[in-house]
Structure 1
Amino acid sequence: MKVIIVGGGKIGRYLTNEFKDKYEIVLIEQDRNKCDRIREKYGIKIICGDGSKPEILEEAGIEDADVVLPVTEDDQDNLVICQLAERQYDVKRTFTRVNTPGNERLFDWLGVNVAISSSSILTGLVNQEVAMQDLKGILTKNHDNLEMLRITVKNGAKAINKKLKNLDLPIEVVLVSILRGDKPIVPRGNTTVCAGDMIVVLAREDFKDDIYEIFT
């Protein structure tokens, strides 16, 4: 079985150590120093780059991957990687780390196979030691009236010419995509908002006014 892990932090290294003698492991990490240390310690294949970019995933061999595990510290990146793996490369099993409490069901609602916060549970899932039906007890929260919003950025909006990381967005809000003309853009912290962008946002009803105030 081929497993692609995205993120060389503590959880990524934990999973690598757990799986390296059982499966074919490829790890993707942006920090070159981390790549060198992990390669030296574990002797696995390392791809140094941004795991949310299709060309990096392809270099890692995602076309024949059985499992993709994004475990970066950015929920947005983890979500994008899962969506790319499932929709563009037809990976059957994607499990991800969730950093913001409460986002498990939000990710599940967007189509991620399983989104949980415990690395030990991730290990069990890949080893098939945790039955899928048992996950219902882990993911018990409701959808909290989640709604997908499509907002066109207006001239004069607070967000124009600002980077996403500098916007005062509630942590419960997830930016799914930005459409600039016909071009979809993966929302990242350094992405600059432009007038005319269509922002696709997932949020609860009580945060809608805050979002519209920022983008319109």
Structure 2
Amino acid sequence: MRVAIAGAGAVGRSIAGELLENGHEILLIDKTPSAISVERVPRAEWLLADACEITSLDEAALQRCHVVIAATGDDKVNLVVSLLAKTEYGVPRVVSRVNNPKNEWLFNESWGVDVAVSTPRLMSALVEEAVSVGDLVRLLRFSQGDANLVELTLPPESTLAGIRVGDVRWPEDTSLVTIIRGSRVLTPAPEEALEPGDELLFVAAQAQEERLEELLSARHGPEHRPATGGQDGPRNT
């Protein structure tokens, strides 16, 4: 897979190194001569150019790229690169770095962004994920479909403890992706029973996050026990 990375700073070089280790073809683009450090990522291609200029992107042959990553420290630049990559070159997948969380609302499909990665928000989410039990934590936002990757650690008092995955009526536009139980990563098979302490990862529409948290949390009394499949059969959307 060919990947172009706009921004050859510490972030861009780190991403390039990881992707090269996974066997991908990498092009690093930066307009600052001092950022062109070929010796730091010798297996990558390098281009001294302004990634906001069409002539530069033509030289980079962006239409040949499967993925473009806008990884500069300037949100305005990242938005322009994302928009050009998607609209002018038809790049299938555009990932963009968000430096200022206040600008996160701009990083959507209108600007050509498929996935927006906010480092401050991600770090905050990882802290919350490490210490929160019973609260829904948003880990990653997907621009397409207005969906998020969210996590919740099932509290001991949850009314879902002991219930099989296939018997839970999950909210609409919600999919349980995996269950992390101790050192194990489990496929959420219908017969798998949920246990207190399970770390549950979902892809869910943002509009359904509140319902999902209510379903999974310990805030239900016995009279509010969540519905299961029953005679109508399971529903795992």
TM-score, reference length from structure 1? 0.54
Partner of 1:117: 118
Unaligned runs of 5+ in 2: 123-139, 151-203, 208-237
Partner of 2:102: 102
For the pair 1:33 / 2:45, whether they are aligned, the reply is: no
Question: Does the 8 Å contact 1:20/1:42 carry over to 2?
Answer: no
Change (3 A) 1:135 1:71: farther
Partner of 1:155: none
Q: 1:91-121: per-residue Cα shift (whole Å, max 9, x none)?
A: 11000000111322321152411112249x8
Partner of 1:8: 8
Unaligned runs of 5+ in 1: 122-129, 143-216
Change (3 A) 1:102 1:19: same
Q: How does 1:38-77 map to 2 (within 5 A)?
A: 39-43=38-42, 44-77=44-77
Question: Does the 8 Å contact 2:8/2:72 carry over to 1?
Answer: yes
Q: Which has the higher contact order (CA 8 A, sep 6+)?
A: 1
Q: How does 1:76-91 map to 2 (within 5 A)?
A: 76-91=76-91
TM-score, reference length from structure 2? 0.49
Greater gyration radius = 2
Question: Does the 8 Å contact 1:96/1:114 carry over to 2?
Answer: yes
Question: Does the 8 Å contact 1:11/1:71 carry over to 2?
Answer: yes
Whole-angstrom distance in 1 between the partners of 2:147 and 2:20 = 25
Between Structure 1 and Structure 2, how many residues are aligned? 131
Question: Does the 8 Å contact 2:6/2:69 carry over to 1?
Answer: yes
Equivalent pairs: percent with the same residue?
A: 33
Whole-angstrom distance in 2 between the partners of 1:10 and 1:60 = 21
